[in-house]
Amino acid sequence: MKSYKHLFSRALAASPGRIHFAAHSHHLWPDASCEGHVASWDDAALLADRKWEKVFGEVIPESQRHVADELHLPDPTTIAFTPNTHEFLSRIFTSKWNNKPIDVLTTDGEFHAFRRQSARWEERGLIKRRFVACEPFGTFTQRYLAAMREQPAEIAFLSHVMFRTGLRFDGVEELASYASPEGTWVALDLYHSFMAMPCDFSKVADRVFLMGGGYKYAMAGENAAYLHAPRLCAAPSQNRLVRRFRRDGRQARRSRLWQGWFALPRRDVRSDRALSFQRCPAHVGARRRGHRGDQRTLRGVARNW
């Protein structure tokens, strides 16, 4: 069997007796990630304020290409970056919200970020969730698609691979057939499939939102989340809540989607800046802070692939 230990010499040397099997959580980082951090520091020292020309002109485009290649997406510019996938959840749901609860079809196996945030949104009357149980596993894909056929949702959100069980959803192409800019939006959480298994979304790239990140199997560390946004489903004109926030702060404070990783029921997580967007290449809001969020990590992403 071919060995890749030489690519992880620093992490292995840091704890020689350790046998690490927790790739599902914090994967040991390869040497390339350290080289990326050092290169970022060197760029900052050499270029100072001019470093952003290199970040936006070289580092981000290279990272976009790597993610697009891994997912078999035709256009790398549909990839946007931010520190975590939770921020992208807020942007997608905010863009879809139109003064009435969003009908959401999801599952009982979603990761904590969506589970907690969606519970908070539902408590506030901003969404209404319908759940498809993961078990029995053998019929999960068929049951989820049957629920869509019976009542197409405004947003269909689920994990490509479930984080607790490794259960995989195998009906992406049929689910994508329901997607349209004015109708259903389909969003897949790829965090537990990205770089853990081959992923080819070339046939649905124009209809499905895809989000994931570098923390787990990509071995790129934190602060490197990405979103692929189908252009037709992310038109700026649909960011109604964003524009209302900018024109009338008082109204937006009454109706905004509450933010926060720990958005548990009856817990207020208040962030006025959370809905202040800057459009990214994929036309989905990404704060300039998010795009610039961690040059070091993006550099590590670019070097890891």
Residue 116's H or E segment, with its range, is helix 112-123
Distances, alpha carbon 141 to alpha carbons 76, 156, 186, in Å: 29, 13, 15
* C-beta separation of 190 from 205 below 8 A: no
User: Of 3, 37, 20, which is closest to residue 220 (Cα–Cα)?
Assistant: 37
Q: How far apart are CA 177 and CA 35, in angstroms?
A: 43
Confidence grade of residue 23 (pLDDT, cut at 50, 70, 90): low
Give 56-109 pLDDT, tens digit per residue.
999 999 999 999 999 999 999 999 999 999 999 999 999 998 889 999 999 999
pLDDT value at 297 more than 60: no
Q: Which residue has the higher pLDDT, 9 or 273?
A: 9
Both structure tokens of 66: 């790597």
pLDDT value at 184 more than 50: yes
Give the least confident one: 35-44, 194-203, 246-255: 246-255
pLDDT value at 25 more than 90: no
* pLDDT at position 256: 35
Taking the complete model, does pTM exceed 0.85, yes or no? no
What strands, in cross-sheet order, belong to the sheet with 127-132? Answer: 79-82, 225-228, 208-213, 185-189, 155-159, 102-107, 127-132
Arithmetic mean of pLDDT, 290-301: 42
* C-beta separation of 197 from 161 below 8 A: yes
Confirm or reject CATH 1.20.1090.10 for domain 59-304, answering yes or no: no
pLDDT value at 305 more than 50: no
Adjacent-strand bridge partners of 187: 157, 209
Residue 90's H or E segment, with its range, is helix 85-96
| Mean pLDDT across the chain | 80
Arithmetic mean of pLDDT, 18-42: 87
Q: How far apart are CA 157 and CA 123, in angstroms?
A: 18
Give the least confident one: 173-182, 201-210, 253-262: 253-262
* pLDDT at position 233: 62
Confidence grade of residue 159 (pLDDT, cut at 50, 70, 90): very high
* pLDDT at position 142: 98
pLDDT value at 282 more than 50: no
* pLDDT at position 22: 75
Arithmetic mean of pLDDT, 274-289: 33
State percent of the chain over pLDDT 90.
65
Mapped onto helix, strand or coil, the DSSP state of residue 132 is strand
Give 122-137 pLDDT, tens digit per residue.
999 999 999 999 999 9
* pLDDT at position 121: 95
Q: How far apart are CA 211 and CA 206, in angstroms?
A: 14
* C-beta separation of 126 from 97 below 8 A: yes
Q: How far apart are CA 279 and CA 289, in angstroms?
A: 12
Preceding amide of 76 cis, omega within 30 = no
* pLDDT at position 277: 29
Per-residue b or e along 192-207, where b marks 16 or more CB atoms closer than 10 Å to that residue's CB = bbbbbeebebeebbbb
Given the structure tokens 């702060």, which residue do they identify? 249
